[in-house]
Structure 1
Amino acid sequence: MLSSIFTVGFLVSLLAGTIRLATPILLPALGQIYTQRAGILNLGVEGTMTIGAVAGFSAAYKTGNLWIGLLSGMFFGMLWSLIMAWLSVTMRANQVIAGIALNILGAGTAVYVYRIIFGVQSLPPQVTPFAAVNIPVLSSLPVIGQIFFQHNILVYLSYVMVFVTWFILEKTTFGLKIRAVGEHPRAADSKGISVAGVRYAAVLIGGLYAGAAGAFMSIAYMNLFTESIVSGRGFIAVSVVIFARFMPVRAMWGALLFGFASALQMRLQALGIDMANQLMLMLPYIMTIAALIFASKKAEFPSAYTIPYSRLER
């Protein structure tokens, strides 16, 4: 059995799968860095991703255009997160309760919308996914080319967004405003920064990223929509943000950790390892929890994390 595992083919397949499976964790995690740095804890990412998945799949299937599907997932993910922004910023509701409620509502709404559009079918409808884009020259490199340079366009874009997110948060005025309202909202308000406006924007950006991740699952990975398509990835994305200490590059490594665990359990099952299937499926979540416990001790949360702001309160 070990001779089947320690082969070049197995390792190439494992690492290529790691990069691909990390994508639907990385995208929502990057979005939640905006949201959580602004002081908002959005636990409704799971529901937002599910909404993005059904919206993206429905639009792509009906129009035959995958890009329209992606944009639809992003738009409806952002629209769904608007509810969370209203509850947490305007209504100053408990963010944990609001997020969990939106997860439940999102899952139910997505299934309801799917059945209205497609009905109940013996075979679920599918879309033709994004084709792999082989990077000239690089994709031809032995081993490395197969691992890094033979993915679809959305995988490449998600890793590019790591550096875009870092630049926006660290090198722009908008990023400075996000950090300011997360750390000292009253001081930011005194300087003329709209705390509510910045927090609304941060939550909506988080929803846009989560919607894109949901659309990725339905039109670039699974190629169909199911009730359990997200499978806890939204909660893991929130955990990855804490693991990453709110830094985009560290979030990429956290997402890759989960992607590696997911790819490993899939490859081990394919090899017929003598282990209970349920234990195999637990592997990615066990590794994520272990990493979170180790990293959360050193995490420094924004000073105004989960704390609603009002000018009238002192």
Structure 2
Amino acid sequence: MEVEMEMRAGEEIEIGQDITPPLPPLSSSLHHSLLSSHCSSCFSPLPPQPFPPLFTPTFPNTPSSYYCSSLCSSADSPLHVSSAEPYLLLLLQSHPSAYPNGDSSDLRAALRLLQSLPATSPYPRVAGLLTNRHKLLHHHDHRVRDGARAMFLARKMRDESPNFSIDATIANVAPHDAVLEEAVLSLVLTNAVEVQDKTGRTLGISVYGPSFCWINHSCSPNACYRFSLMTPPTPPCWPETALLRIVPFGRSSGRATQIENGVCSNNVLAKESRGYGPRVTVRSIKRIKKGEEVTVTYTDLLQPKAMRQSELWSRYRFICSCTRCSASPLTYVDQALESN
């Protein structure tokens, strides 16, 4: 049986306090439209003369990433190339119909995550994070199927470069070839959050470890989160356990979950964090008692209940049953939203 994870307060937490330190992502990627204007490592705007990657692929005419500094370039470009991200960009550039979604950030984040993780298999959880692969595929999500095939071809291009034929099509990839890619892409679609700058502009997406991703949704949350954009930190950097005031809790077992069936503890994932990229910090917006579940929102709380439920089901495949959604009659706020 799949263990449903949550995070609970490990101590009494007053309103307006940080619950976590700034957590580094497991994987992150800029939105496709910002690749030429923002740093692919820290998401900051590029200077007039951006820094190219220190490592480049061998395949000709492959799109490149750009960086705000030599530090970001040296930190990120090895993963940029080794993950097959440039080959994916070339593939989508040559065959735009291969993934008509228009934004490749989810595919690139999945490739980066797949490259940085140890050898794994498509469990219901990969690196401790729920994939939702079967749910997404059951509802005929071609985004997963086609995206995974594009990832598979990009990795094949990397391995066979420069002898790989760019004319290879996604349709020629057998379904069983891209099972692992399906699992990791589903993980990204399920767990990634949109990274915003101080103005509220969305820059890209990031996937974080269980310390963040095991925090569940509520339409009446007791916490929120914010991002900080920074170049790779110089040692000593923040340890993930510093100021971490929440603990994992498995609902089926009633105790903190260790490594089991693909579920990993925080300490394991901390070792696999990149250590740079957009960091996220969770902060309390209500007083939280010790042992109480910590929740954030996955959607816009100023939407009527029906719209919130529809969005949560469409993206995450669950129906919210928090106190606000379960209230009968509707809360005053939801009544006001319904009347608009």
Q: Which has the higher contact order (CA 8 A, sep 6+)?
A: 1
Between structures 1 and 2, the one with greater strand share: 2
The TM-score normalised by the length of structure 1 is 0.25
Between structures 1 and 2, the one with greater helix share: 1
